[in-house]
Amino acid sequence: MLARLTAFLTPYKLLMPLCFGVFIAADDQTVVVTLLPDMMADLRVGVSELDRASWSITGYLIGYTAAMPLMGRFSDRLGYRNAFIIAMAVFSLGSVLVAISPIIPELLYGGEPEFGWLVGTRVFQAIGGGAAIPVAIASVNELVDSKHRAIAFGLIGASAEAGGVIGPLWGGGITTWISWEWAFWLNLPLTLLAVIWITRNPPARKNPVKIDLFGSAVFAALLALLTIGLVRIGEPDSIMSVALVLAFAFIAVLIFTIRRSESPLFPRELFGRMSFNLANVTHFLIGAVLIIGMVTVPLMAASVFGKSPLEGGLQLLRMTIAIGVGALIGGIVTQRIGARTPAIVGLLIAIAGFALLSRWTVDMAEPMITIHLAITGLGLGILVSPIAETGMTDAAVDHLGAASSLLTVSRMVGMTAGLAAMTALGTVQFQELVADVPAFSTDPAIQQEIVDSATRAGMDVFTRFYEYAVVISTIALVPAWLMTRRKP
């Protein structure tokens, strides 16, 4: 068995340090889910300020996504190996800053702990983490022959999902036995190992491309403004309006920059390929449904089923393990028969999984919980390789980093937009459902009814999100079908 596994992995051995880096960065996307209560206590954020606390996750997503196109171009210019080492260095420094964020105000100006410093350091940390995936994807054409490319994309996707799996469990264990800061201190030996490992790879190919720093800044500002606007979409106000108007203005500036710049952040040649554009549309929609599953499953476990954060992470594990398995299956199938069949089958399986989740009740129990989550994760995982294979095929050598980063950005923007809209709409929907329910009663029977009403309202909100996921996944069938059309 071990010999077979070794033989299977041999064509991809040079890719392993990059997969390890992807795993580390993805872990820090989700580790904060179980660290958040302790972080809020240390930084004096109240339980009623969850919308503010959620920026520790949203900020990481923004920094993670904003860094991708810039680091993709650095990968083209410097070579994947140098770009990866720079990314790990930034990620390590960011991890240190996150760990000491409670005492930064005291060190700088003798102030009290401030939550804003945590968000800012998380954004900086994410700049390094966000580079790992596009650099890894861009390296595939250089490290793996075309015969093994689809499985290589599947391995990268599986590494990212594995990091997302371990994150909540890692955070839960650390907060149980030591303190939350150690989740970030322990990144240092891991990133050092990744850097030492990658230096054993041969020198990477470099291309004399220019770096569009202005376009990168515009893209980062656009992403932040869009997120701020979407977060407030449930309760519209002037801040939402201003943020969205400015976001559309930055979109216009970015388009102008792409059209007029000699070396734009997103090369114009990429947008001339319809299959690439459709792959990005598909990935955006998949990102929106993925975040629905990643966020609602542990939240439902804690609020509806009354489980601990660690138990919620274990419940999410059923879906994320299936995503990793699906990514490998999708890579093997794509390599053998092409991208169309796994893309459509993966979406149909995901639609079936979310439809099953939308029928959950407060009495849902095993083994159906595991079966439904595994079906959903399997479908989402199968999609990884066909989307990457379609988007990266025929990309010019000096645009591989840019193409891979834009593909990943489309999914991350979908996740960021989905998280923002879900946070806003979920809050409003829950308040509407419990509007007529009293806050508290001294009568035990009435108090129990209040608790039951709140639980049912929470379940209604969560299952409604799964219905949204069914609709979005069904819409994604159209670009997925079109992107995989065979060329005449």
Given a cut of 90, whether residue 348 has pLDDT beyond it is: yes
CA torsion, points 72, 75, 78, 82, in degrees to nearest 10? 120
pLDDT tens track for 240-295: 788 888 888 888 888 887 777 777 767 777 777 788 888 889 989 998 888 888 77
pLDDT of residue 192: 92
What is the pLDDT averaged over residues 9-24?
A: 81
pLDDT at 183 > cutoff 90:
no
Cβ-defined contacts of 447-453 (< 8 Å, 24+): none
> Which is the CATH superfamily of the domain at 7-211+263-483?
MFS general substrate transporter like domains (1.20.1250.20)
Q: Give the model confidence (pLDDT) of 141-179 as tens digits.
A: 777 777 777 777 777 877 877 777 677 777 777 777 777
Q: Read off the pLDDT band of 303 (50, 70, 90).
A: low
Q: Report the range out of 25-34, 103-112, 189-198, 444-453 with the highest average pLDDT.
A: 189-198
Q: pTM for this one?
A: 0.70
Which percentage of the chain shows pLDDT scores above 70? Answer: 76
Residue 186 has pLDDT above 60, yes or no: yes
Name the pLDDT band for 474 (thresholds 50, 70, 90): very high
CA 241 – CA 139 distance, rounded (Å): 41
Query: Rounded to an integer, what distance in angstroms lies between the CA atom of residue 211 and that of residue 32?
Result: 32
